[in-house]
Amino acid sequence: MKKLDMIYEGKAKKVFKTDNDKKYIVDYKDDATAFNGVKKGTIVGKGVVNNKMSAAMFLMLEEKGIRTHFLELLSDRESLVRAVKILPVEVIVRNVVAGSFAKRLGLEEGTEIKETILEFCYKNDELGDPIINDYHIYALELATREQLDKIKTDTFKINDIMKVYFKEKGIRLVDFKLEFGLYDGEVILADEISPDTCRLWDLATNKKLDKDRFRRDLGEVEETYQEVLKRIQG
Ligand code: UDP
């Protein structure tokens, strides 16, 4: 597989064309940003962890019947994926109160949420990914009703699968963000699943095992990313 022109560089990943127009190569970086790009830094080894963890998560989800963009791990930092068109909607799933949700509604971080909450954000960095609902998605034509229905069904399934999966690794799945893309007209799971995109707390101690260590300057950032990968692979 030939790595050709870079078509996109985001905060944490680069995407390259290949000699097959249905396949892209994703290259994971160590760059870290938070608070809509205001805080910047490097987490040494993060790209490797996020690449390998995403691969493991996508393979696990595929086995359980979820279609994803993932095809093959190519190297420490690179994966081969299906060339999807990312839908400009970020899907956030909340099982436990944390982050912006705690702030917005004045709730205490760590409180178990009685029913799983889905939130949608308009994927637009300039606007700071504003929260939107189904009506905004239809009116702005970010996705059709059929596409959003598929996203919701898949997202609930993914949450059920991931909650059990992480529990077996001694991890509480607090919240996470998903992105979906279009491939041959079908909505499939894309982007990444990593400590950058999930809040993961140790089941026994509630220690934060995710990007909040960087966001909130909690220390042991690099070590924590390695620890999560070790638990996923163990
Ligand atoms: N998240 C993400 N990318 C974003 C915003 C959020 O991956 O652009 C993830 C974040 O890591 C957390 C979940 O989505 O696991 C919920 O994030 P929240 O809305 O609480 O925002 P934050 O507190 O991260 O600003």
Residues 15 and 95 in one domain: no
Residues 78 and 92 in one domain: no
Query: 21 C-alpha to center of ligand 1: Å?
Result: 31
Domain closes at, from 82, 117, 146:
82
Q: Could you give the CA distance from residue 88 to residue 122 in angstroms, rounded to a whole number? A: 6
Q: Could you give the CA distance from residue 56 to residue 229 in angstroms, rounded to a whole number? A: 10
Pick from 148, 170, 125, 171: nearest CA to 9: 125
Which tens digits make up the pLDDT trace of 105-157? Answer: 999 999 999 999 999 999 999 999 999 999 999 999 999 999 999 999 999 99
What are the residue ranges of helices labelled H in 8-114? 46-63, 99-105
Q: What is the CATH number of the domain that holds 177?
A: 3.30.470.20
Residues 56 and 97 in one domain: no
* 8 Å CB contact between 81 and 24: yes
Report how far apart the first and last C-alpha atoms of the chain are (Å, whole number).
Answer: 30
Domain closes at, from 82, 114, 134:
82
Residue nearest ligand 1's atom 5 by CA: 177
CA distances from 49 to 20, 77, 88 (A): 26, 8, 25
Pocket test for ligand 1, best of 100, 200, 208, 210 (most atoms within 8 A of CB): 100
Q: What is the CATH number of the domain that holds 43?
A: 3.30.200.20
Which tens digits make up the pLDDT trace of 80-106? Answer: 999 999 999 999 999 999 999 999 999
The fraction of the chain above a pLDDT of 90, given in percent, is 99
Instruction: Give the structural domain span for 16.
Output: 3-82
Is the minimum distance from the CB of 175 to ligand 1 under 6 angstroms? yes
Q: Is 197 inside any structural domain?
A: yes
